[in-house]
Chains A and B, each alone.
Chain A
Amino acid sequence: MSQTGNILVIGAGIAGMKASLMLAGASSKVYLVEKLPIIGGKVIKNEESFPNLECSTCMVAPIQQDVLQNPNIETLTYSVVEKIEGSAGDFSVVIRKRARYISLTDCIGCGMCYEPCPVSLKNEWEENLIDRKAIYVPCSGSLPNVPVIDSEHCLRIGGGEDCSLCAEACAFEAINLDDSDEIIEVNVGAVILATGSATFDLSSIPDLGYGTLPGVYAPMEFERLFASNGPTLGEITLRDSEKIPESVAIIHCVGRREQKYCSAVCCMYSFKFARFLKHKIPSVRVFNIYSDICVPGKSYQSFYRSVEGADTEMLYTSSIGDVSVSESGSGLKVSYPDAAVSPQSLNVDMVILAAALVADPDVAQLAEVAGVDLDPQGFIKTVLDGSGSMETSREGVFVAGTAEGPKDIQNSVVQAESAAGQVAEIMTSQASSS
């Protein structure tokens, strides 16, 4: 089999990038497919990652650069895998490379094309906290630093109007408004699914006011609000872009009851948020409303202890599922039962909901394409659960990172390394047997 050396990795987050680099280093040709126009995954949305509060960009950017510059990795951004046929050692894969309208080789990322675009839209990558154009890069520092055209909203492509302002502004003739999707077929010996996860749908709990009360935030929204390359350039203000919150409540375990599992990362990011808030707004009062503290493993609890009392007040509630948020004057009122099960309330300017990690909504479709089973929680299932093996129900197809279940960065990387190891094992045994 000539194609045994090739590998398909789906998802260019920390797990996918790590696995790709390892296998590319072992001389495999890697097709790294990412549905977004940029690589980096969720980690690059965080200014700093727990427990060391390490700068995520500093940590991930060199990895992103390595991926893009590695001659053995073909990175296909803005692309989706449509078919994986065949069997371990000989899969044929169909990839749809969506029309980007901008040439990755000609564009140098100067950004001259954004200004003239007359369309203004919410930037989803920035959690809708800022506007973007129809031609855009999701955030500053995007890699690859090449924009994409949102074809649906582009006046010309989506609206049929005669607009080519972006193309006119481009000095490099890098914009091709007649671009179309491209279908790529490749043969690979193994597949790694590293498509990540999503956050729990907060609007499904109306009592918490997400989506109706502007002062209520999802965790990723807050991450971007704090980020120095984010929509407010790191200034923590409420949605009116002016008011700086004087008091913030962080509500733990949102979605734990519904999902029937603990995501194991929410306590830590909640404490991180408390530290961020106190760091940026020294006079702010932060309250963490919790019923269990889950800080497993070395160095997590010590971070919690350093935050507890110093950056945040800890408020215990006997039933986290009974916490509610309502409007109160210009602010918010958080109601919760305390340790003695008597009702308490608290007035704050801002509420952050520590939402559970849940399976990515696209994972069901991916599972179908990849022919793998999902577990009851909707994540991709490993066949030998608990053995550390990352093999899915389909031989030759592996999973890594939060696509397999909620976890922190460390465990995502460990799984990526495990999956890469298993793929390398197959590759060498195939190579030696053929």
Chain B
Amino acid sequence: MKEFEMQESGQDRKLRAKVGVYICECGPNIAGKVDLDRIITDISELDDYQDVELVVKKYGFLCSAPGKEYLEEEINSNGFTHLVIGACSPRDHDSTFMGVCKKTDLNPYLYRIINIREHCSWVIDDKEKATVKAESYIRGGIARVLRQSELFEKPLDINPDVLIIGGGVAGMEAALSLSSDDRRVFLVEKTDRLGGVSIDLSGILPGQGEVIGKKIESVLGNGNIRVFLNTRVENVIGFLGNFEIELLSEENTEITEIMSGAIVVAAGGTLFDPRESDRYSYSGSDEVYTSLSIEKMFAGDDGAVLRSGKQPSSVALIHCVGREEKNYCSGICCSYMMKLACFFKKQSADIQVTEFYRDICLPKKNDQERFSEAQAAGVALIRIKDISLKGTNVSFERISGDKDKQSFDMVVLAPALEPSADTEYFADLLTVPLDEFGFFQEVHKMTNPVGTATDGVFIVGAAHGPKGVSDSMQFARASAGQILTRLIPGEKLIPEVAVTEISEAYCTGCGNCLEVCVYGAIYSDDSRGISVVNEAVCRGCGNCFGSCPSGALRTKHFTNTQLYREVDEALR
């Protein structure tokens, strides 16, 4: 008897192949439309492989509990080296039969499910044709499975600790959610204090100042959170579970090296500079203010007053500053502008307050109250199409098309929220792409909004997109949710098994694969002049494979040799 060399295994182990071919009748679903007995005879007599022993059988329902037991018994008693299941879609039962293999000595990657139901019996009416087709698919499965290789899970040790970049509300929230006796948190803040923008907002919402203050206290008092102030992140390498980080303190210019399993980026946002648009004639020195500076004034003892210290008798609140320039609605300005209007009214009912808005955007279920409160407080609401400022003189076009002018003592602008100046730096450092607006791009807008292309790096707060305090905290908690459920102290991570590998003999280091990899799973090994796959990060999509002219890559379980064999049989 000849020996069959496993071409794809990359090992010099030789063994004689014995392939089990089990066809599921799926009741009448397959058996009724396909002549299984003929297939069994034909395949058993297949003389393509003189050196391979084939055992071909059918069974009622392979996916049923007795079916699985039967299969397990058959694998064990026959000592199959490979297994082909002719049944339904792998989307239904691939994992079922892989599970059966796992109970035996047969490596689950030496089995193949062939879909003769959705691709044959359910869609081809003519029994003769369906039979021929099913036989062809099964032959393809046998040809392919013989070129498959054993693959093994490679569990990875992880570090459960977390680096959080940014000490604003989002960063603090994440830190508090994550820290525990078996998980340390490193909270890095570039300024000399925690709290971020929210400090300036304190005192506005009832109890909020207190809440932020308490939060800062509990962060500072938490033994499992190490706070680095006046510190920047200098360098990051690694991947989910294993990041190596260098921190640089401004004070002693010393590098601190830390390790973490995940990184939460809470780098915050900043306000659109009204000077970027000439319509607001904003200088920062007259009686035109940004909303944030008014928030600060209200938080102080004197309330919002003119530079002279006098109370304004009329105030214009202008919404949507920068909305068209940035091409997004920040989603929070309407709400806080209504709030500011009420504060002015509360400061003195004599202040004439006018809001100029384009659309009312109050996307939170309780926000609408703000609108009613402002209306009740006697705030004038003017819907406009267009607006421009000269000092505190406001020229505007009403929605009806009428043009008008009004003068005020004070004008307050609601600038859009934009990414902070550090965003690009961190994007580069963490190899996370930015979106068209300059915010960090999430790996999937809907199903994974806090995750990034670099698994293990999470984006929260205004670094992700314009959002207010409560949404920032919500996103922070979401990132904590991912980390808490994925990086469990003492447990290992099991990365994707069917990943891509690169042959050193063929790779020229041209970097095609590296450029197209969405996950940053490929890096360049300059000393060897080749590209290398980080198997802990690779998801096995094969995009790199498609980009390589040298054929230096091999996407395991979907190699060209395997696919060519399927093609050969399809065209037989």
Contacts and interface: CB of A to CB of B under 8 A. Distances in A.
Asked if A and B form a direct contact in the complex, defined as CB atoms under 8 angstroms apart, the reply is yes
A330 interface: no
Contacts of B358: 293
A18 B365 contact: no
Contacts of A406: 365
Contact of B482 (A297, A318, A417): A417
B182 interface: yes
B34 to A, nearest CB: 14
Contacts of B368: 260-262
B543 to A, nearest CB: 17
A214 interface: no
B365 A261 contact: yes
B478 A296 contact: no
B480 A301 contact: no
Interface in A286-340: 292-302, 305, 316, 318, 339-340
A296 B180 contact: no
A23 interface: yes
Interface string B371-388: 010000000000000000
Given A298-B439, A414-B474, A421-B477, A386 B469 contact: yes
A430 to B, nearest CB: 12
Given A108-B27, A292-B360, A413-B448, A377 B365 contact: yes
B481 A296 contact: no
A388 B477 contact: yes
B328 A302 contact: yes
Interface string A105-129: 1101010100000000000000000
Interface string A7-34: 0000000100010001101110000000
A432 B474 CA distance: 26
Contacts of B478: 413-415, 417-418, 421
Interface stretch (A46-54, A92-100, A228-236, A362-370): A46-54
A300 B485 contact: no
B202 to A, nearest CB: 14
Contacts of B446: 14, 49, 54, 59, 409-410, 413
A145 to B, nearest CB: 8
Given A302-B327, A413-B447, A422-B481, A292 B473 contact: no
Interface in B202-227: 211
Contacts of A51: 445
Contacts of B173: 387-388
A415 B365 CA distance: 15
A157 interface: no
B365 A108 contact: no
Given A25-B485, A297-B467, A418-B477, A63 B361 contact: no
Interface in B317-375: 323, 327-332, 358-369, 372
B485 A388 contact: no
Interface in B483-542: 483-486, 488, 491
Contacts of B361: 262, 292-296
Contacts of A379: 365
Contacts of A414: 449-450, 474-475, 478
Interface in A372-411: 375, 377, 379, 385-390, 405-406, 409-411
Interface residues of A, number: 71
B283 interface: no
Max count, chain A CB within 10 A of own CB: residue among B361, B365, B439, B447: B365
Given A26-B488, A299-B437, A432-B181, A172 B474 contact: no
B408 interface: no
Given A299-B445, A406-B365, A339 B328 contact: no
A296 B331 contact: yes
A241 interface: no
Question: Taking each of A294, A316, A390, which has the highest tally of chain B beta carbons within 10 Å of its own beta carbon?
Answer: A294
Interface string B10-35: 00000000000000001111000000
Contacts of A387: 173, 211, 470, 473
A428 interface: yes
A420 B491 CA distance: 18
B331 to A, nearest CB: 3
B481 A298 contact: no
Nearest to B477: A418
Given A413-B448, A413-B449, A294 B362 contact: yes
A22 B485 CA distance: 6
A69 interface: yes
Contact of A388 (B363, B449, B470): B470
B465 interface: yes
A108 B26 contact: yes
Nearest to A410: B449
Contacts of A419: 481
Nearest to B27: A171
Contacts of B329: 293-297, 300-301
A339 B399 CA distance: 6
A227 to B, nearest CB: 17
A49 B482 CA distance: 23
A386 B180 CA distance: 24
B433 interface: no
Nearest to B484: A424
A281 interface: no
A304 B480 CA distance: 32
Contact of B61 (A54, A172, A296): A172
Given A388-B173, A424-B485, A297 B360 contact: no
A56 B465 CA distance: 23
A246 interface: no
Contacts of A420: 481, 484-485
A29 B64 CA distance: 23
A301 B330 CA distance: 10
A339 B91 contact: no
A241 B235 CA distance: 62
Interface string A251-294: 00000000011101000000000000000000000000000111
Contacts of A418: 474, 477-478, 480-481
Contacts of B63: 108
A260, A377, A387 pick with most chain B CB within 10 angstroms: A387
A167 to B, nearest CB: 14
Contacts of B64: 105-106
Contacts of B482: 22, 417, 421
A86 to B, nearest CB: 24
Contact of B177 (A26, A65, A421): A421
Interface in A214-242: none
Given A299-B445, A413-B449, A386 B484 contact: no
A415 B477 CA distance: 8
A261 B27 CA distance: 54
Nearest to B170: A388
Nearest to A43: B446
Contacts of A131: none
B533 to A, nearest CB: 23
Interface in B433-485: 435-437, 439, 444-450, 465-467, 469-485
Contacts of B484: 26, 420-421, 424-425, 428
Contacts of B469: 386
Given A297-B329, A299-B437, A171 B28 contact: yes
A294 to B, nearest CB: 4
4 smallest beta-carbon distances between A and B, as pairs: A296-B331, A421-B481, A264-B363, A388-B473
Given A297-B328, A385-B366, 11 more contacts: A18-B447, A25-B485, A261-B362, A262-B360, A296-B361, A298-B465, A388-B477, A418-B478, A418-B481, A428-B182, A432-B181
